């Protein structure tokens, strides 16, 4: 960790007035008890004014207007594994009361897989978030990390529909894996040099054996890489109708489901994470691109209406198209629904490019900055026996 950077951040945050980042035309904030949208009880920090939706939005707008400010830098597209690791360390020091992180395993190339824990670890309900399960979709890691910073910075004053962030994250704890496929991300960003020498020949073989609609250079091929370092598409590697999925029959940059279900260490780590939590009530998978939301995997009636309602709430908030057509591809969301009876959706951020450019991040941010509080509020709003499905 860069100690000088951390000290500067601590000094800057200590000197920052809590409400200095918002301009609300003279409004100083409203208490949650006076907000018509707040129904969950008194705020956990009643001495602090809880912001309205407009004030929370103003803070989100200011944060993105200064992309290099704070801890997570969103001024460049190629947010790397090393940056993410350093940012997790810094967040855990600056916001140690409400955030921690730990290893859940290692990738095929030996990189540590991290999960961030946001909120009350003793909460009786948990939600799992997965981002960057496909290498080239690394803006999703950047988004989830900036979301983490935002919620932590405004933990006691931010709100969603009048409910304080503190109330939401006290009742539901989030387990966030911001880079589920770090090897794939680094292949897409830095090419073969990101891998140990002994793993590089397989990637070169993938390029030679994969069918290409049009000629692409090796460098372009790597920049579009989705799989892990073994050439397995991790979002096709879950034991959820795995046998039925008809993808590539050998390692390549995408759509190879692996030699067996959960053959990959990254998949095994996610399964172990889910197994380790006492009551996972939802799984949120963040992908790019397309500005669509997938929810239908042919799940049973026990989770179908809850999952559809979850997807509808997200669609109403970010404007993404709801895809009702059934989709089965041995993905993490399929496995969550079909094998664990846990509601799961896939949100595809951005549009128009295989690798989303930096210029799209402000739009993506404003569409999704409150995605996790929305998720918590939705599952707190439905009957407890529905939202606490056990597996």
**Out of 20-24, 26-30, 330-334, least confident range:** 26-30
277 pLDDT higher than 90: yes
pLDDT of residue 5: 57
pLDDT value at 13 more than 90? no
What pLDDT is stored for residue 300 in this prediction? 95
Q: What is the pLDDT of residue 69?
A: 87
Alpha-carbon gap, residue 206 to 203, rounded angstroms: 5
Strands, E, within the chain: which ranges?
Answer: 99-106, 112-118, 125-131, 159-160, 163-164, 172-177, 280-288, 292-294, 321-323, 344-349
Answer yes or no: CATH 3.40.630.10 is held by domain 3-8+34-183+273-349+360-387.
yes
Work out the mean pLDDT of the chain and round it to a whole number. Answer: 89
How distant, in Å, are the alpha carbons of 11, 91, 137, 152, 214 from that of 8? Answer: 5, 13, 31, 18, 49
The DSSP-derived string for 91-160 is: HHHHTTTTEEEEEEEE-TTSPEEEEEEES-TT-SEEEEEEE--STT-THHHHHHHHHHHHHHHTTTT-EE
Q: What is the pLDDT of residues 98-108, one digit of tens each?
A: 999 999 999 99
Which range, of 19-33, 72-86, 191-205, 331-345, averages the lowest pLDDT? 19-33
- Determine contact, residues 59/365, Cβ cutoff 8 Å: no
Q: Residues with Cβ < 8 Å from 92, sequence gap 6 or more? A: 99, 100, 101
pLDDT > 80? residue 391: no
Count CA atoms closer than 13 A to 227's CA, side-chain side. Answer: 26
pLDDT at 167 (0 to 100): 96
Could you give the CA distance from residue 86 to residue 313 in angstroms, rounded to a whole number?
33
C-alpha dihedral (58, 60, 62, 65), degrees to nearest 10: -140
Question: pLDDT digit string (tens) for 212-254?
Answer: 989 999 999 999 999 999 999 999 999 999 999 999 999 999 9
Does the structure show a pLDDT above 60 at 135? yes
Helix (H) or strand (E) holding 315, with range, is helix 301-318
- Extents of the domains making up the chain: 3-8+34-183+273-349+360-387, 184-266
Please give the C-alpha separations between residue 97 and each of 78, 92, 119, 153, 280, in angstroms, as whole numbers. Answer: 30, 8, 9, 11, 22
Q: What pLDDT, on the 0 to 100 scale, is given for residue 302?
A: 92
């Amino acid at each position: 960790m860069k100690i000088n950077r951390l000290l500067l951040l601590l000094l800057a945050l200590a000197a920052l007035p809590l409400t200095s980042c918002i301009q609300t035309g003279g409004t100083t904030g409203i208490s949650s008890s006076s907000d018509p949208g707040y129904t969950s009880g008194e705020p956990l920090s009643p001495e602090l004014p809880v912001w309205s939706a407009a004030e929370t939005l103003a803070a989100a707008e200011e944060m993105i207007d200064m992309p290099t400010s704070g801890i997570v830098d969103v001024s460049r597209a190629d947010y790397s594994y090393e940056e993410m690791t350093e940012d997790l360390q810094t967040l855990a020091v600056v916001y140690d009361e409400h955030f921690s992180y730990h290893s859940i395993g290692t990738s095929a190339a030996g990189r540590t897989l991290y999960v961030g824990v946001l909120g009350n670890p003793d909460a009786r309900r948990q939600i799992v978030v997965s981002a960057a399960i496909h290498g080239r979709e690394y803006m999703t890691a950047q988004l989830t990390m900036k979301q983490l910073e935002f919620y932590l910075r405004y933990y006691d004053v931010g709100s969603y529909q009048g409910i304080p962030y503190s109330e939401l994250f006290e009742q539901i704890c989030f387990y966030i894996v911001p880079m589920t496929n770090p090897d794939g991300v680094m292949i897409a960003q830095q090419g073969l040099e990101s891998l140990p020498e002994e793993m590089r020949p397989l990637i070169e073989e993938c390029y030679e054996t994969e069918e290409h609609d049009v000629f692409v250079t090796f460098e372009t091929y790597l920049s579009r890489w989705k799989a892990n370092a073994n050439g397995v598409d991790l979002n096709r590697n879950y034991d959820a109708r795995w046998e039925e999925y008809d993808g590539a029959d050998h390692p390549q940059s995408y759509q190879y489901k692996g030699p067996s279900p959960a053959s990959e260490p990254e998949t095994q780590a996610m399964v172990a994470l889910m197994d380790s939590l006492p009551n996972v009530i939802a799984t949120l998978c963040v992908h790019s691109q397309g500005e669509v939301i997938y929810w239908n995997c042919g799940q049973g009636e026990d989770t179908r209406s809850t999952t559809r309602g979850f997807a509808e709430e997200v669609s109403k908030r970010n404007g993404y198209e709801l895809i009702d057509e059934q989709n089965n591809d041995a993905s993490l969301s399929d496995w969550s629904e079909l094998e664990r009876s846990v509601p799961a959706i896939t949100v595809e951020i951005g549009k128009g490019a295989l690798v989303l450019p930096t210029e799209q991040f402000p739009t993506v941010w404003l569409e999704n900055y409150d995605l996790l509080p929305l998720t918590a509020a939705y599952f707190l709003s439905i009957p407890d026996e529905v939202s606490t499905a056990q597996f």
